[in-house]
């Protein structure tokens, strides 16, 4: 099973995020990310946050999670960040789950991530993406504050083109806000990839006319 896109869910989350902008200064990035998370019906939505960061993205993800009946988790580096984050979110009536610690370490405690947002300005963002575990349905990854399309292509190659069982099946750089770099992680297909290689076997065939032997892998 793969992540499936629902235009209806995306639209509802988008409109609700627009409405919530009455409580804070909204942005096109917030509404877009919210629509994507809801549209892909993400059941586990993960983001990272540090003191001084805006909470607009968090607001959009919180709205999306209400539409998908999913879990919205924010990873912060320390207790002070946790206090500031929860205080800001509670002011607008939202209370996501917060985990404290180094993001590249804490992320390993989470399974079946469907949708994840990280900040490209943070030096550890690549480590976070590499450490994350994704479900059978695949996942959508979003890097905020991405600098350019060229960096986007290099980023995904360096993170996923390592011979592993997962790969980026499509990616796009959007010049929205300060730049959004979006990658879609492949789903795990039954009977494909590593599983196929494990179950494959060599079969010998002989050409009756020439007498030549051929080895065929099935």
Is 113 inside a domain boundary? Answer: yes
In a domain, residue 81? The reply is yes
User: 216: pLDDT confidence band, cut at 50, 70 and 90?
Assistant: low
Q: pLDDT tens-digit profile of 96-118?
A: 999 999 999 999 999 889 999 99
Over the stretch 132-182, which tens digit does the pLDDT of each residue have?
998 888 999 999 988 766 666 667 777 776 655 678 888 888 988 888 999
pLDDT at 186: 86
Does 206 reside within a domain?
Answer: no
The answer to whether residue 117 is domain-embedded is yes
Across all residues in the chain, what is the average pLDDT?
Answer: 83
**Does the residue 211 lie in any domain?**
no
At 80, is the pLDDT very low, low, confident or very high (cuts 50, 70, 90)?
Answer: very high
- Structural domain that includes position 58: 7-189
140 part of a folded domain: yes
Q: Which long-range contacts (CB under 8 A, 24 or more apart) does 88-96 make?
A: 88/55, 89/55, 89/58, 89/59, 89/62, 92/20, 92/23, 92/24, 92/59, 94/58, 94/59, 94/62, 96/58, 96/61, 96/62, 96/65, 96/72
Does the pLDDT at position 130 exceed 90?
no
Please tell me the total count of domains within the chain. Answer: 1
68 within some domain: yes
CA–CA dist 186, 74 (Å, integer): 24
Q: Would you say residue 197 has pLDDT above 50?
A: no
Q: Does 154 fall in a domain?
A: yes
Q: What is the mean pLDDT of residues 80-90?
A: 95
Give residue 39's pLDDT.
96
What CATH number does residue 43 fall under? 3.40.50.150
| DSSP letter string, 94-107 | ---EEEES-HHHHG
193 compared with 118, residue with greater pLDDT: 118
């Amino acid at each position: 099973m793969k992540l499936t896109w629902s235009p209806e869910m995306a639209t509802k989350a988008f409109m609700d995020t627009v409405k919530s902008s009455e409580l804070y200064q909204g942005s096109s990035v917030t509404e877009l990310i919210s629509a994507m998370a809801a549209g892909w019906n993400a059941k586990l939505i993960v983001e990272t946050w540090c003191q001084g960061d805006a909470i607009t993205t968090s607001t959009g993800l919180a709205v999306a999670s209400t539409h998908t009946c999913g879990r919205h988790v924010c990873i912060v580096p320390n207790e002070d960040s946790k206090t500031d984050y929860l205080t800001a979110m509670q002011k607008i009536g939202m209370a996501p789950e917060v985990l404290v610690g180094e993001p590249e370490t804490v992320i390993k405690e989470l399974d079946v991530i469907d949708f994840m947002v990280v900040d490209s300005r943070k030096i550890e963002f690549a480590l976070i993406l590499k450490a994350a575990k994704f479900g059978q349905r695949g996942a959508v990854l979003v890097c905020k504050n991405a600098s350019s399309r060229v960096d986007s292509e290099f980023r995904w190659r360096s993170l996923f083109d390592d011979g592993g069982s997962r790969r980026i099946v499509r990616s796009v750089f959007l010049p929205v806000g300060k730049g959004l770099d979006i990658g879609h992680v492949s789903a795990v297909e039954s009977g494909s990839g590593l599983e196929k290689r494990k179950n494959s076997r060599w079969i010998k065939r002989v050409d009756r006319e020439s007498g030549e032997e051929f080895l065929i892998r099935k």
